[in-house]
Amino acid sequence: MKLRLVGLLALLASPAFAQLKLPPLSPEAKIVQNVGLTTITIDYSSPAVKGRKIWGGLVPMDKVWRAGANHSTTINFTQPVMIGDKEVAAGTYGFFAIPGAASWTLIVSKANELWGSDEYKPENDIVRVTVKPTAIPNRERLVYLVTNFTNETANIDLEWEKVRVTLPVKLKTAEQAAANIKAAVDGAWQPMNNAARYALEIKDYANALIYVDKSIAAQETWFNTWVKAQILSASGKKADALVLAQKAQTLGEQKPDGFFYAADVKKALTEWKGK
């Protein structure tokens, strides 16, 4: 008997046995879907029916379930979304479900690293949504899908056996797109201003003036006004430079926290007034 045990232990410890790979009972799965400006990623393990009774059997009714196998299912949103009446910030969340005969409760939780649902705590819930299950043709393995999506809405479907439940998600694409457009328009002056500063540095005053004028045409700021003042001063146009330096100071003092060349502008005003 001892010899057999030693032989078995030696087999288990052998490199060949350690490298043995077999198909997992519940394979890891991931779905990634871009919806508007939001990427939705769902990580889960996919168990099979295998002829078993699922609802009220393998998965108890009216109890919290990890909505998959092995580790708890997680959902990641790259942008804030609305679920039910709650705003859910960008991030990764645990996804749980409470199956019921007539309705299910779908749960988005702060707990996103649980193994199963044994350590699930209601105080970590961010939002709960009550939904009605719908009948579908038999689905042997559990699967998640992002369906019926537009720029503003999406459905996260859980399908398994002959049941589908849907978590509706509202996106903020229009709001985010508007903010992106505003940021692009508001920032359009910066590339030309950077080009003007570079041209000033290499003493290419003609092109520096062209670039800075384009920057000011896009949006006048204390910064590009100050850059133009420096270009004019370097070109020998001290009087014109002084006018613009005074204007740059006035614009900068309206937002003093961002007026990071305030000391340089003040120094130039003192020096240029004497010339």
Model pLDDT for residues 12-37, shown as the tens digit of each residue: 555 555 688 888 887 899 999 999 99
Model pLDDT for residues 80-139, shown as the tens digit of each residue: 999 999 999 999 999 999 999 999 999 999 988 887 777 889 999 999 999 999 999 999
- Which two three-digit tokens encode residue 126? 């961010």
| Arithmetic mean of pLDDT over the chain | 90
- Nearest CA to 205 out of 247, 237, 248 is that of 237
Helix-strand-coil split of the chain, %, nearest 5: 40, 30, 30
Query: Taking residues 151-169, what's their average pLDDT?
Result: 97
Cα–Cα distance between 111 and 63 in angstroms, integer?
17
| DSSP character at residue 39 | E
pLDDT above 70 coverage of the chain, percent: 93
Q: Give the pLDDT confidence score for residue 83 in this predicted structure.
A: 97
CA distances from 80 to 9, 92, 144, 221, 259 (A): 53, 11, 21, 32, 32
pTM over cut 0.85: no
Query: Taking residues 253-259, what's their average pLDDT?
Result: 92
Residue 50 gets the label, from left (phi > 0), alpha (psi -120 to 50) or beta, of left
List Cβ neighbours of 84 (8 Å cut-off, separation of 6 or more).
127, 128, 129
Cα–Cα distance between 106 and 129 in angstroms, integer?
5
Q: Give the pLDDT confidence score for residue 7 in this predicted structure.
A: 52
Enumerate domains of the chain plus CATH numbers: 23-172 (no CATH), 187-273 (1.25.40)
Q: Give the pLDDT confidence score for residue 6 in this predicted structure.
A: 47
Model pLDDT for residues 212-221, shown as the tens digit of each residue: 999 999 999 9
